[in-house]
Amino acid sequence: MQIRCFKCHMPIAMNREAVVDALAQVDKEELSHYDLFCPKCRTMNRVSRKQLQRAAPKVVRDEGDAK
Ligand SMILES: [Zn+2]
């Protein structure tokens, strides 16, 4: 998936592994969003849990729904 920085509009790519890691952190800490830092301007971009779930592989998504 790709997030676009809301400040500098730089596209930030999240590969499948990054999405899974992000989703794991969100689940563990019971967050509603994941903080993704822009590598260019260091602005924190909020990626919603739903966005992550949509981008995650199906197996991970099903595990998340079961909780
Ligand atoms: Zn930025």
DSSP per-residue codes, the chain: -EEE-TTT--EEE--HHHHHHHHHHHHHTT-SEEEEE-TTT--EEEEEHHHHHHHS-HHHHHHHHH-
For residue 58, how far is its CA from the centre of ligand 1 (angstroms)?
29
- Each residue's pLDDT, cut to its tens digit, for the chain (67 residues) gives 999 999 999 999 999 999 999 999 999 999 999 999 999 999 999 999 999 999 998 765 566 555 5
For residue 62, how far is its CA from the centre of ligand 1 (angstroms)?
32
Q: Considering the domain boundaries, does residue 65 fall inside one?
A: no
For residue 2, how far is its CA from the centre of ligand 1 (angstroms)?
13
Domain that holds residue 40: 2-60
Q: Considering the domain boundaries, does residue 48 fall inside one?
A: yes
Q: Considering the domain boundaries, does residue 66 fall inside one?
A: no
If one counts the domains in the chain, the total is 1
Q: Considering the domain boundaries, does residue 67 fall inside one?
A: no
For residue 56, how far is its CA from the centre of ligand 1 (angstroms)?
23
